[in-house]
């Protein structure tokens, strides 16, 4: 007997390469927003998201299932994208698991040039879509169609495979001060935190780095976005900065202490990347000599996408 999920994934893969999706092949991009992005004035981040989706003619779909008021969240972004000239914007409505496995939802995801994931509660979002047809369709959209995926606040946290779901903003890092769960997996090698500087979350990000030392920690400030062009480069836009914590070469006492004890973390690297800066190779694949090797290695890990999940 053929497994239904295997059959669906195979069908979606073939569909994504069919003439129905014969538009020019694009490179999937991620727009990871730290929350509280400007929706009223210059709207630098949302304007850039529209541009990366293909401009005002792009088909943009809004997934607001993380919100406790998904209809109100959708209406907010509908109005913003309309003001930015987008003529084809529609909601991806997932009130329950049945909807997450419906053809109507997967069709809406697969037709999109851009998918925007709202704030709210990242765990609520993942409880609705984990291992659903919608989850698999999101992967086909990003990996095979080159759809641009943006997420703000909870929507940003959900983009990583190891998803930070809760934890107090500790002054100093403590063992198990924060909790991780499974996210969408578009960012395979990093854990994303949002509202970063505004809520003093460096301590909690360091705490989860001790739990997952092979990962990078990425803290994104409010009204700031990390734009990842898969396999190529990153860029920081908006008003604040992106903090990258790299503990891959550190020594930690994480495995030797009790829960909530203070962590020793030696050899941690920290990169502070302000808005307005781009990091990646040039057209010939060369790095600027001004970029240190440690940052190059971190960027390489960030731009390497997670596997397509079926």
**pLDDT(262) > 80:** yes
**pLDDT tens digits, one per residue of 174-198:** 999 999 999 999 999 999 999 999 9
Q: Which of 42, 123, 28, 131 is nearest to 84 (CA)?
A: 42
State the burial class of residue 102 (Cβ atoms within 10 Å of its Cβ: 0-12, 13-18, 19+).
middle
Nearest CA-CA partner of 26 in 143, 137, 185: 143
CATH of the domain at 117: 3.40.50.880
Q: Which residues share a beta bridge with 164?
A: 180
The pLDDT tens digits for 62-93 are 999 999 999 999 999 999 999 999 999 999 99
Residue 190 counted as domain residue: yes
Confidence tier at 285 by pLDDT (50, 70, 90) = confident
Q: What tokens were used for 119?
A: 């704030």
User: Lowest-pLDDT range, 177-186, 248-257, 280-289?
Assistant: 280-289
> pLDDT at position 8, please?
53
User: Which tokens belong to 16?
Assistant: 């994504």
Percent of the chain with pLDDT over 70: 92
- Number of structural domains found in the chain: 1
Q: Identify the CA nearest to 174 among candidates 238, 255, 98, 263.
A: 263
Smallest CA-to-CA distance from 73 within 119, 128, 121 is with 119
Which residue would you say has higher pLDDT here, 13 or 253?
Answer: 253
The structure tokens 């541009």 sit at 51
What distance in Å separates the CA atoms of residue 72 and residue 229, rounded to the nearest whole number?
Answer: 30
**CA distance linking residue 291 with residue 92, whole number of Å:** 40
> Per-residue pLDDT averaged across 160-184, rounded?
95
Separation between Cα atoms, residue 45 and residue 276, nearest integer Å: 12
On the 0-12 / 13-18 / 19+ scale of CB atoms within 10 A, 110 is buried
**Alpha-carbon span 133 to 139, nearest angstrom:** 10
Would 289 be classed as within a structural domain? yes
Confidence band, pLDDT 50/70/90 cuts, at residue 256: very high
The tally of CA atoms less than 13 A away on the side-chain side of residue 41 is 6
pLDDT band at residue 3 under the 50/70/90 scheme? very low
**Helix H or strand E encompassing 193:** strand 190-194
Is residue 165 included in any domain, yes or no? yes
Mean pLDDT of all residues in the chain?
92
Phi, psi of 242 (to 5 degrees): -115, 130
Number of H helices, E strands in the chain: 10, 16
Q: Distance (Å, rounded) from C-alpha 217 to C-alpha 175?
A: 16
- Is residue 309 domain-resident? no
Backbone torsions φ then ψ of 267, nearest 5 degrees: 90, 20
Beta bridge partners of 251: 266
Q: What mean pLDDT do residues 249-269 have?
A: 97
Q: In the structure encoding, which two tokens stand for residue 286, read together?
A: 């060369």
pLDDT tens digits, one per residue of 104-153 = 999 999 999 999 999 999 999 999 999 999 999 999 999 999 999 999 99
Give dist(CA 24, CA 87) in Å, integer: 20
Residue 262, domain member (yes or no): yes
Residue 234 domain flag: yes
> Where in the sequence numbering do the catalytic residues fall?
153, 195, 222
Confidence at residue 268, expressed as pLDDT on a 0 to 100 scale: 98
Please give the residue range of the domain that contains residue 285.
26-303
Is 276 contained in some domain?
A: yes
Please report whether residue 134 resides in a domain. yes
What are the residue ranges of helices labelled H in the chain?
Answer: 4-16, 44-53, 70-83, 97-100, 103-110, 122-129, 133-143, 154-157, 202-211, 293-303
Q: Which two tokens stand for residue 173?
A: 């890092």
Confidence of residue 1 (pLDDT cuts 50, 70, 90): very low
Whether residue 21 is predicted with pLDDT greater than 50 in this model: the reply is no
């Amino acid at each position: 007997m053929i497994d239904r999920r295997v059959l669906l994934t195979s069908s979606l893969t073939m569909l994504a390469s069919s003439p129905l999706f014969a538009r020019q092949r694009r490179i999937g991009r991620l727009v990871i927003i730290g929350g509280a992005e400007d929706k009223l004035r210059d709207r630098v981040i949302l304007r850039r998201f529209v541009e990366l989706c293909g401009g005002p003619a792009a088909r943009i779909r809004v997934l607001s299932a993380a919100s406790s008021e998904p209809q109100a969240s959708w209406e907010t972004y509908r109005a913003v994208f309309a003001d930015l000239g987008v003529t084809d914007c529609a909601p991806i409505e997932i009130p329950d698991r049945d909807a997450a496995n419906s053809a109507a939802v997967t069709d809406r995801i697969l037709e999109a040039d851009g998918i925007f994931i709202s704030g709210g509660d990242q765990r609520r979002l993942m409880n609705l879509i984990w291992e659903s047809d919608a989850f698999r369709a999101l992967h086909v959209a990003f990996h095979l169609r080159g759809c641009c995926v943006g997420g703000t606040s909870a929507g940003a946290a959900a983009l990583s495979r190891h998803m930070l779901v809760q934890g107090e903003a500790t002054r100093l890092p403590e063992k198990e001060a924060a909790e991780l769960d499974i996210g969408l997996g578009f960012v395979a090698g990093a854990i994303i935190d949002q509202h970063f500087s505004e809520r003093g979350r460096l301590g909690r990000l360091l705490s989860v780095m001790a739990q997952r030392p092979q990962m990078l920690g990425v803290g994104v400030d409010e009204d700031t976005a990390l734009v990842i062009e898969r396999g190529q480069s990153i860029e920081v836009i908006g008003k604040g900065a992106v903090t990258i914590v790299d503990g891959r070469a550190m020594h930690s006492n994480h495995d030797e202490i009790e829960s909530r004890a203070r962590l020793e973390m030696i050899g941690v690297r920290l990169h502070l990347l302000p808005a307005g800066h781009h990091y990646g190779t040039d057209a010939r694949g060369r790095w600027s000599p001004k970029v240190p090797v440690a940052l190059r290695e971190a960027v390489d890990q960030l731009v390497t996408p997670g596997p397509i999940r079926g």
